[in-house]
Structure 1
Amino acid sequence: MHEMSVALSVVDQVEQAARPQGVHGVRRVAVEIGELAGVVPDALAFCFELACAGTRLEGAELVTRSVPGRAHCAPCGRGWDTGMPPDMICAVCRAGATELLAGRELRITEVHWSAAPTAPGPAPVPQSEES
């Protein structure tokens, strides 16, 4: 399951970005996943939760956005969504797609840091009741 290695990589990259900024926690991480990237979003979410355990990302939400595969035909200039499995033949001129424009993405697009934990204040002193 390569989703675990992807999840570990996301956690590692966010951890590295958090260190120099003194961030104590992460609330949410947003990731774009191309439909041709070979990553199953539900499997990634499961692995992400496991990968976050014991890190400053523990409890963070993973938000995924799917990016459709998109191809472009150089001979006739047509663009189309490739679908899955990808259709790489131009429906107009029957040429093979010369350029894949989108669909292989796998990138972190947003990280929402948590507020720094506040130090607990002094415990209230119990008041004695006088009658």
Structure 2
Amino acid sequence: MHEMSLCESLLTAMEEAAQTNGFAKVRRVRLEIGRFAGVEVQALRFGFDVVMRGSLAEGAELVVIDRPGTAWCFDCDETVEIAERHAPCPRCGGARMQANGGTEMTIKDLEVE
């Protein structure tokens, strides 16, 4: 389950931020996760609770913000939101699409003390 390693990386990033910015406790973490990032949110939530035990983020609330997938349509020359990787263009119905967004996982912000 790669979600556990994602949580370990998240903890490392929070520990580095705490050292740099001088906070001792994380109360809330808001993550933006792209629809095509390949992250199982339920598994991420489970891993988050396990990995954060005994850390500066123990008991922190995890807020997941779903980011849409996007693709470039060669037919109408536009970037559009898509629900699935191989979906047709919602504007023109064209099938010649190049996915170009929705694979990211980013820390949006932290609520700390």
TM-score range, shorter chain: 0.7 to 0.9
Contact 1:29 1:63 in 2 (8 A): yes
Aligned length: 112
* 1:39-78 pair list within 5 angstroms: 39-78=39-78
What is the aligned partner in structure 2 of residue 104 from structure 1? Answer: 103
Structure 1 counterpart of 2:41, one-letter code: P
Structure 2 counterpart of 1:103, one-letter code: G
Aligned-partner Cα distance in 2 for 1:2–1:11: 14
1:14-57 Cα distance to aligned partner (Å, 9 max, x none): 11110132211110010001110000111111101111111111
Gaps of 5+ in 1: 115-131
- 1:105 positional shift: 1.4
* 1:10-89 pair list within 5 angstroms: 10-84=10-84, 86-89=85-88
Moved over 3 A (4+): 88-95
Root-mean-square deviation (CA, aligned residues, Å) is: 1.9
Contact 1:78 1:90 in 2 (8 A): no
SS of 1:37's partner is coil
Aligned-partner Cα distance in 2 for 1:63–1:109: 10
Aligned-partner Cα distance in 1 for 2:65–2:55: 24
| Structure (1 or 2) with the greater strand fraction | 2
Contact 1:71 1:88 in 2 (8 A): no
TM-score normalised by the chain length of structure 2: 0.86
Identity %: 37
1:73-106 Cα distance to aligned partner (Å, 9 max, x none): 144224433223x225446374522352x21110
Structure 1 counterpart of 2:106, one-letter code: R
Gaps of 5+ in 2: none
Contact 1:35 1:103 in 2 (8 A): yes
TM-score normalised by the chain length of structure 1: 0.75
Structure 1 counterpart of 2:44, one-letter code: L
- 1:70 positional shift: 1.4
